[in-house]
Chain A
Amino acid sequence: MPILEAQNLTKRFGGLIAVNNVSFQIDEGEIVGIIGPNGAGKTTLFNLITGYLKPDSGRVLLRGEDITGLPPNKIANKGLARTFQIVRPFRHLPTIANVLVALQSHRGKRRIEWIKTPERKAMEMLEDVGLSDMALEPAENLSHGDLKRLEIARAMALEPEIVLLDEPFGGLNPVETEYMVKSLQRIHLDGHTLVIVEHKLHALMKLVKRVLVMHNGEIIAEGAPEEIAQNKKVIEVYLGKAI
């Protein structure tokens, strides 16, 4: 059974169809990319899957369980984590507290050690993304690149089964991008399923094994990165974006 399945998801805003009858399946352990020009509906699709928007029709299944329309926190507690395109840390809290918030959730209290010393678990997550020395720093003092890594730490603190990442490479310089690629590869190797929406195609294509292409709310192509790169329709849609 696929770990995540979207069935005929549709969402309209007034007269505009943002997501049009989208269906796809993600198998456990996959690392899948979703690309498409601006306005293609990628973030809306994420919001539909993670509970921030209710679809007008269609269903979302997590390990066969219907999670359509559930509130975001319930979905997170079921093992589906997400990161956001625009980083929004809890700026009044120190970095480590940002991660501690996730550990106050239902899922964050699954293990006794996490209940007794959540700080330990939080520090581990920060170490994994290389932010341990910024632990006590107020989150608002972190650089953009650090904040992107904090997003990952926060999402991983819940030990999710599948993570949806919305433009994890946005605004990162080449060094930070490389670091992020390695982090995501490691997370994938640890057994997590990843679905990544991204614009920076060179970084994404290195990382993923399968790509879905969206345009005007529909999936117009699907396949391995090399195939997609050659796909005429995709190239047209991107108007000459070099890969």
Chain B
Amino acid sequence: MLTDTIIRYVKKVYTNFATHVYDVPPRMLALLILIIIANLPFMGIPTHRLGIFTTANLIAILAVSWDLLVGRTGQISLGHALFYGVGAYATALLYKYLHWPWWTTIPLSIIAGVGVALIIGIPCLRFKGPYLALVTMAFPLAVVGFFYYYRDIFRGETGLSVKPIFAPPIVSYSQKPIANYYLSLALLTISSIIIYKVATSKTGIVFVSILDDELGSKACGINTTKYKLLSFAISGLFGSLAGAFAAHLTGSANPRYFIEKTALIPTEYSLIPIIATILGGIGTIYGPIVGTYLYYTLNNYVFEYVITGIDKPTRILFFMAIIIFLIVKWPRGIARTIVEKLEDLQEPREVEEILKEKAKSEETS
């Protein structure tokens, strides 16, 4: 009896909090994650290891952008590292040959990323799934081949060096990792919010309609090609944003951004979004972020420094096998299942309420 009352009371408070303050549990989860992540430097991770998580933040942006395209619009991209590399190389080239500062080169790199997305998208998005999958897989490989061919311009395996954003005298050498980390975290937060806004907008609804039933979407009068291109372009935008900043935070742009032959797995940065999204939960914003962190914590931190002796191929095997297992048994991903359990706690809202709120917010704006 008492427990019932308590449960009902908790449910009520929770629902109130959820509807009036943050609207949905996913946002609470996101806030929670953000708080944890923001405190990583203070949670006992030595400063010189922080670089792992800086990269994780940037790759998380790549992963979220991938999920927008694949999980939300239903187009498949097996070579998303392309945008990461394009962003990185674009800013590196602009710096090397024109000596422009980072706040000029980075926006231009992003524009380049969108340009690449459109150039590839316009012919290729009309292909059916498997064709698109293989073509997207081929692109990073082709670009790297091209870069190797023109060694003089692109500097082959060593790649190009880039002037870092944080360097003495602005920031001391020992503080640089922390500055990098917080910048990447800020970028991740802003990008996620923007992509979230897109995903929950009417455009986002159309994206999901294309995922669920493209023919049905067309019957509703939607020009699906236009929306697919838009999704691809937004995805490319954020992917190249991540890559451009990556170059400036690590100080170099090299072929590893596209493919990673040395690690035996020719497509690593293309694979991480896939791993991350499936681990965390496809079709969400927080899913890829959680997944990226899981991957980096496990792969680059735990397996590097805590449990040693597991070599790279075994690790990759481990992750791939888990992914296959998850796809078959648990397609919703870990984080998403948790969130949905939380959502079940919520009491259903009335439609009238929603419309009233909407009308009110429109009147005031």
Where the two chains meet, the residues of A that have a C-beta atom closer than 8 Å to any C-beta of B are: 50, 52, 71-73, 76-77, 81-82, 84, 88-93, 96-98, 100-108, 116-120, 123, 132-133, 135-136, 154-155, 157-158
Contact = CB atoms under 8 A, between A and B. Distances in A.
Interface stretch (B25-33, B54-62, B217-225): B217-225
Contacts of A97: 205, 208
Contacts of B222: 73, 101-102, 104-105
Nearest to A118: B202
Interface stretch (B256-264, B273-281, B287-295, B351-359): B351-359
18 contacts: A71-B218, A72-B219, A84-B219, A92-B211, A100-B202, A101-B222, A104-B202, A104-B205, A104-B206, A105-B220, A105-B221, A123-B355, A132-B351, A135-B351, A136-B354, A155-B219, A158-B220, A158-B221
B191 to A, nearest CB: 23
A73 B224 contact: yes
A118 B362 CA distance: 12
B203 to A, nearest CB: 7
B360 to A, nearest CB: 12
A128 to B, nearest CB: 15
Contacts of B329: none
Contacts of A136: 348-349, 351, 354
A4 B330 CA distance: 49
A238 B215 CA distance: 31
Nearest 10 interchain pairs by C-beta? A105-B221, A102-B220, A76-B221, A72-B218, A90-B212, A101-B209, A73-B218, A88-B213, A77-B221, A135-B351
A93 B205 contact: yes
B216 A90 contact: yes
B283 interface: yes
B216 A116 contact: no
Contact of A119 (B206, B215, B216, B355): B355
Nearest to A101: B209
Contacts of B221: 73, 76-77, 102, 105-108, 158
Contacts of A88: 212-213, 215-216
Nearest to B211: A92
Nearest to B283: A92
A123 B358 CA distance: 13
Most chain B CB neighbours (cut-off 10 Å) among A73, A117, A157: A73
Contacts, number: 101
A106 to B, nearest CB: 6
Contacts of A77: 221
Contact of B217 (A82, A101, A117): A101
Contacts of B211: 92
A209 to B, nearest CB: 26
A61 to B, nearest CB: 20
Contacts of B359: 117
Contacts of A123: 351, 355
Nearest to A76: B221
A72 B222 CA distance: 9
Given A81-B219, A104-B220, A123-B351, 10 more contacts: A73-B223, A82-B219, A88-B215, A89-B213, A102-B220, A105-B222, A108-B221, A117-B358, A117-B362, A123-B355
B220 A76 contact: yes
Interface string B324-362: 000000000000000000000000110100110011001
Nearest to A91: B212
Contacts of A104: 202-203, 205-206, 220, 222
A3 B362 CA distance: 39
A72 B205 CA distance: 19
